[in-house]
């Protein structure tokens, strides 16, 4: 698949631009496939200029997709829509969980809280346990987000370089 941007063309003009070798018989299928490849677009005919469009690499694949039973194409569009909705819900749930965890971690790190707990051995042990569990929860959230493709699987490199102030001459 490749990405192009919409520049105000009609769908037939866009198909002609993207697939100049397509004949009159396959153009309607290509138009339908272009619409099917972009289920997030309500009406491709009224898009603003610069809107990104997904275009399959192989026109024969596009035409084959367009020839699918309309119920199958509708199912695929609906499934893509529901997956996108589920992804948004998951992102929101992760955001809430991370915000709650940050509040907990901030409290656990606060000097006043630590000072109050320092005098009681049982509370210190509980603080250590909760701190460890919060760290484990943060790792679990990250692993779950990676598994769902919500963050990169590449390990994050920590920036260690610091800007050294120039010494006056």
* 143-165 pLDDT, tens digit each: 988 887 777 655 554 444 444 44
* Position 114 in a domain: yes
Task: Provide the pLDDT for residue 115.
Answer: 87
Q: Using an 8 Å Cβ cutoff, are 31 and 15 in contact?
A: yes
Query: 42 and 104 share a domain?
Result: no
Range of the domain at 22: 2-67
Q: Which of 67, 94, 118 is the last residue of a domain?
A: 67
- What pLDDT was estimated at residue 139? 94
pLDDT given for residue 30 in this prediction? 81
Residue 132 and residue 84 in one domain: yes
Cβ atoms of residues 59 and 37 within 8 Å: no
Residues of the chain with pLDDT under 70: 1, 6, 39-42, 44-47, 56-73, 152-169
Residue 70 falls in which region: left (phi positive, over 0), alpha (psi -120 to 50) or beta: alpha
**DSSP label at 10?**
-
pLDDT at 66: 52
Residue bearing tokens 């929860």: 137
Q: Are residues 76 and 140 in the same domain?
A: yes
Cα radius of gyration (the chain): 27
Residue 100 is assigned to a structural domain of this protein: yes
Total domains present in the chain: 2
Q: How far is CA 136 from CA 20, 120, 141, in A?
A: 56, 24, 9
Task: Mark whether 63 and 76 lie in a shared domain.
Answer: no
Helix 27-36 and helix 59-66, axial crossing angle in degrees, nearest 10: 80
DSSP-based three-state secondary structure for 42? coil
Which pLDDT does position 50 carry in this prediction? 78
pLDDT recorded at residue 54: 81
Does residue 30 fall inside a structural domain?
yes
């Amino acid at each position: 698949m490749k990405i192009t941007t919409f520049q105000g063309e009609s769908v037939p003009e866009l198909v002609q631009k993207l697939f100049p070798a397509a004949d009159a018989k396959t153009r309607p299928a290509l138009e339908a496939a272009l619409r099917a490849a972009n289920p997030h677009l309500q009406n491709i005919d009224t898009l603003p200029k610069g809107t990104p469009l997904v275009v399959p690499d192989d026109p024969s694949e596009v035409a084959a997709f367009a020839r699918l039973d309309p119920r199958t194409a509708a199912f695929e569009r609906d499934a893509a829509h529901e997956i996108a909705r589920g992804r948004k819900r998951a992102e929101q749930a992760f955001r809430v969980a991370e915000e709650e965890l940050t509040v907990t971690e901030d409290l656990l790190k606060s000097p006043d809280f630590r000072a109050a707990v320092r005098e009681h051995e049982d509370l210190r042990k509980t603080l250590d346990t909760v701190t460890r569990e919060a760290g484990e929860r943060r790792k679990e959230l990250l692993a779950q987000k990676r598994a769902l493709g919500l963050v990169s699987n590449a390990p994050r490199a920590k920036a260690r370089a610091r800007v050294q102030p120039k010494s006056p001459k």
